[in-house]
Structure 1
Amino acid sequence: MKATYFDGKQMKYDENYPDPKPGESLVRVSLAGICGTDLEILDGYMQYNGVLGHEFVGVVEKSENPDLVGKRVVGEINAGCNKCDSCKKGMQRHCPNRTVLGILKRDGAFAEFLALPEENLHVIPDSITDEQAVFVEPLAAAFEIKEQVSINPDWKVAVVGDGRLAQMICQVLKLSCLDVTCFGRHETKLSHLEKFEIKTRIGITPSDSQSYDLVVEATGSNSGFADTMKLVKPRGTVILKSTIASRENLDLTPTVVNEITLIGSRCGLFKPAIDALVTGIVSVDSMIDSTFPLEKFTDAINHAKKPDTLKVFLKP
């Protein structure tokens, strides 16, 4: 099959990359999205090598469940062993023996085909386009915040970052809170949030300091954590979403002094994300940027790295 893969140093294109091993549902990839985590892997995050890509939509070609064959699907990225205590408690995403699509010991979606366990796959309604379906995985990560924190509708909420995930988090939190502000660096990106009545800021002013009950860090950079700590109230809550390749030390002193609650947040359930796209309570269309053929992966990645770019797709 055709695939682009990371050899630990650089991305390469191979027209004869090995097909996925049998034993799981085989999906022909229709469209895959380039994510911030993919870019971090290219900088050394997770020390991964193999086919990147974990945001995708495709059609099931083979499965032990005949009802799935021919269906358009998206897939949860964590595959647990189904034997350990975490898996028995339904927490496959925390299985110590898990593989993660395009991130950990499992080839991903920048290829013609991928394989996942049947239980990881979710059928996509016809009302959701392929482009919208690629957003299900990161949108599920945005909804995970509401699973982890009981949000008070009277809270002042801030999201630090203006990229793809940050923009979806803003929309999801706006469903629960009237007062949501996105702190970013790019006017073009922030302008997409105006129609959702989400406040936007470039830079932090003295009046912003320690004035937010809940702050979500979604910048993908170490500097984002420092900005987050400036914004959160004493005894407030901080949600950490960034996965960062850099090993630069972070100053946690303000966390202790101000008794901040830190919550790490990663993947989420797919059903709330799919339902949100079907009903239209969350919109991702304004984040759709451009699509590149698989063999033009270098151009696609370079474009995805540009400051004003939102979602870039690869099409096998």
Structure 2
Amino acid sequence: MPIPTTMLASVLTRTETIELERRDVPSPQRGEVLVKVTAIGVCGSDTHFYETGVIGDIVVEGPIVLGHETAGEIVAVGEGVDPSRVGARVALEPQTPCRRCRYCKEGSYHLCREIRFYGAWPIDGSFVEYAIVDDDFAHEIPDSMTDEQAALVEPVSVAVHAARRAGITAGAKVLITGAGPIGVLNAQVAKAFGATEVVISDPIVHRREFALARGVDVALDPADSDLSTYDQHFDVYIDASGNGRAIKSAFDAIRPGGSAVLVGMGGHHLEVPIALLQHREITLTGTFRYVNTWPVGIDLIASGKVDTDGIVTGRFGLDGVEEALMKAKTDPAAIKTMVIPALTHAAAE
């Protein structure tokens, strides 16, 4: 099928405003491939940019396309790329590092100061019909995986990176706060890494039920349960909520020599029990996206070790991106929302 010259793009033109525009289809340059986008997951960071225009030190200063959890099919390649890649179904790693700095050379390319990340100002994301990505960041998926599963490799990669940072190994006991998509995926990845006990806490009943159905051992309601019975019990604590109260309540439950990893996006400052951290030698760290995680994420989903069935609870076309971005806030039963370009009904002028 011939590649069109123009495409639809859902553009954040100002805070809380998405407009459907028609743009030129980009051409892949040397080392790049052009991907026809088939599925894009909605991330909490997309919603935050939509509502506020700011995440940390990233400020949206003009029109931008959001979206970074992406699957698609390669339809064209740039110079230096094997033409046989055309037709390959891929999961996109949505970042372009400089490949020359200290961090890139050390293998920590996610910390590259010049990295270009999809949907983070000023780099356009993937709420589009066609997207460009570096050839080696277009990871092929097996035929058994669906497009939606391929898009979910991105949030699974968040969990893989967190598990590595936490040092989860066989026999680990893990506590997670927040049973949204990232929390539940962290729970499943922890199990895949060898954790034998995973406890999750979330105030929303259907999220607790969803987590229990996917291998979590105990799901607590923080409104009527505390962690006092788990004093110094867990090897690893992972926060997937960004909620300061939830984070502070968890430190007593970490054993001496344990680790705490902050994944959820919360406020700029957090009060932590320094004396407790020192006396128990607890390692407290954060995560920044991911690095070298896509092959593992693909294998975890393809093997069934991470169960993605039922995680997608809503699907919208490019003309429904605004509703998709707010679905987790407007629908209490929502878990994960997908944007499927093929479902788009409207046409931009």
Normalising by structure 1, what TM-score? Answer: 0.91
Match of 1:308 among 308, 329, 333: 333
Equivalent runs, 1:235-246 vs 2, <5 Å: 235-244=257-266, 246=267
Kept after mapping to 1: 8 A contact 2:28/2:77: no
Shift in Å, 1:240 = 1.1
2:11 to 2, 5, 8: 5
2:270 pairs with 1:250: yes
Report deviation, 1:4.
1.3
Count of aligned pairs? 314
1:10 is displaced (CA, Å) by: 2.8
Indicate the residue corresponding to 1:71 in structure 2. 88
Describe the shift of the 1:235–1:90 C-alpha distance in structure 2 as closer, same or farther (beyond 3 A).
Answer: closer
State whether residues 216 and 228 of structure 1, in contact with CA within 8 Å, keep that contact through their aligned partners in structure 2. no
The structural deviation recorded for 1:259 is 3.6
The Cα of 1:314 is off from its aligned counterpart by 0.9
Partner AA of 1:85 in structure 2:
R
Pick closer, same or farther for the CA change 1:135–1:174 going to 2, 3 Å.
Answer: same
> Residues 23-70 of structure 1, C-alpha deviation per residue, up to 9 Å, x if partnerless?
232111111110112122233212135111110111112112212212
* Alignment correspondent of 2:345: none
CA contact (8 A) 2:177 2:239 kept: yes
Q: Is the 8 A contact 1:61 1:70 kept in 2?
A: yes
Cα RMSD (Å) of the superposition? 2.1
Contact 1:186 1:308 survives alignment (8 Å):
no
C-alpha separation in 1, matches of 2:215 and 2:18: 42
CA distance in 2, matches of 1:233, 1:164: 26
**Counterpart secondary structure, 1:214:** strand
Q: Report matched runs for 1:198-217 at 5 Å.
A: 198=216, 199-203=218-222, 204-205=225-226, 206-217=228-239
Cα drift, residue 190 of structure 1 = 1.5
Cα distance in 1 for residues equivalent to 2:28 and 2:109 = 21
SS for the counterpart of 1:267 is coil
Secondary structure, counterpart of 1:159 in structure 2: strand
Q: Would you say 1:25 and 2:42 are equivalent positions?
A: no
- Report Cα offsets for 1:119-176 as digits up to 9, x if no partner: 1110111100112111101112212234334334333210110000110110111231
* Pairing of 1:96-135 with structure 2 (within 5 A): 96-135=113-152
CA separation in 2, counterparts of 1:8 and 1:233?
46
In 2: Cα distance, 1:110 partner to 1:148 partner: 30
Q: Displacement, 1:233?
A: 3.1
Deviations 1:244-302 (A, max 9, x none): 3x43x310234456542112223141111111111111111121111011111222122
Task: Give the Cα separation in 2 of the matches to 1:155 and 1:57.
Answer: 32
1:290 to 314, 339, 346: 314
In structure 2, which of residues 281, 290, 303 is the aligned counterpart of residue 267 of structure 1? 290
Contact 1:38–1:52, Cα closer than 8 Å, also in 2: yes
Does 2:212 match 1:194? yes
**Percent identity of equivalent pairs:** 27
User: What SS is found at the alignment partner of 1:301?
Assistant: helix
Gaps of 5+ in 1: none
2:101 corresponds to which of 81, 84, 95 = 84
Q: Residues 185 and 238 (structure 1 numbering): CA distance in 2 closer, same or farther, change over 3 Å?
A: same
Match of 1:281 in 2: 305
- Partner Cα separation in structure 1 for residue 263 and residue 315 of structure 2: 26
Contact 2:214 2:307 in 1 (8 A): no
3-state secondary structure, aligned to 1:250 = coil
Q: Partners in 2 of 1:20 and 1:217 — Cα distance?
A: 38
For residues 51-66 of structure 1, what are the structure 2 equivalents within 5 Å? 51-64=65-78, 65=81, 66=83
Give the counterpart of 2:59 among 40, 47, 72.
Answer: 47
Runs of 4+ in 1 over 6 A off after TM superposition: none
